[in-house]
Amino acid sequence: MNDKQIVGEKAVEFVKDGMVLGLGTGSTVQYTIQKLGELVKEGLNIKGIPTSIQTERLAKEVGIPITNFSEIQRIDLAIDGADEVNPNLELIKGGGGALLREKIIAKAAKKFIVVADPSKMVMKLGQFRLPVEVIQFGMEMTEKQIRELGLIPEIRLNETSPFVTDNGNFIFDCSIPDNVESEIIEQELNMIPGVVENGLFVGITDLVITLDQQKKVILLSK
């Protein structure tokens, strides 16, 4: 069993019968979803709200009933991965391009759990470039205003053409300078017209499941 599978399956222990779950996107949380599918076949009663078309496809394949925001009153628990996690449990997310739906679901959930193998744990955010989702109209002006904040944006490509999110938007992957404060830059980016959302998750995470140097599961909370 690899690191991602260990932490991904550990998160299932926090799922209770009758819950509405936010289902994240990525290579670690796919193990959570696959394990949940096994438990559904054994009688676990849950509903899932997926953060991406990719996750919705996987959830349906393993037999997890899918719901949406018009049908539910709450999200009990959201489980997702991360591209980076710092000691304050702040995250960079969006490597898979699903950051907008991931943040909507994480903020709507009563509890937000992040599953992360040890390679994602960092002292300071920023080695992984920060994804910023933008609408296509006026993207050149949006890019200019992102640069004015001190970030260095580069359009994400799918081979030779721009990568398009599930929402029909583009993504700038941004290098961020060392002196940037996560909470401030998150707010400043989202004040730019044309920016839909960014991949900084600040003050949202309740619990991180990862491994220590001996490959033992550890739970990190504030």
End-to-end Cα, the chain, rounded Å: 28
pLDDT at res. 222: 82
**Tens digit of pLDDT for each residue in 50-64?**
999 999 999 999 999
Equal fold, 3-121+202-220 vs 130-198: no
Q: Where are the domains of the chain?
A: 3-121+202-220, 130-198
Report the CATH number of the 130-198 domain: 3.30.70.260
pLDDT at res. 177: 86
Spatial contact of 39 and 17, defined as CB atoms under 8 Å apart: no
Question: For the chain, what is the largest distance between any 2 Cα atoms, rounded to a whole number of angstroms?
Answer: 54
pLDDT at res. 96: 96
Report the CATH number of the 3-121+202-220 domain: 3.40.50.1360
Confidence of residue 92 (pLDDT cuts 50, 70, 90): very high
Tokens 């049908």 correspond to: 71
pTM, two decimals, is: 0.96
Gap between the Cα atoms of 80 and 27, Å rounded: 10
Confidence of residue 80 (pLDDT cuts 50, 70, 90): very high
Gap between the Cα atoms of 14 and 216, Å rounded: 18
**Tens digit of pLDDT for each residue in 140-194?**
999 999 999 999 999 999 999 999 999 999 999 999 988 878 889 999 999 999 9
The residues annotated as belonging to the active site are 102
Q: At residue 221, does pLDDT exceed 90?
A: yes
Structural element, H or E, at residue 85: strand 84-85
pLDDT at res. 196: 98
Confidence of residue 1 (pLDDT cuts 50, 70, 90): confident
Closest CA to 117 of 87, 152, 81, 88: 81
Beta-strand relationship, 207-211 and 217-220: antiparallel
Cα–Cα distances (Å) from 207 to 60, 112, 114, 200, in that order, read 26, 7, 6, 16
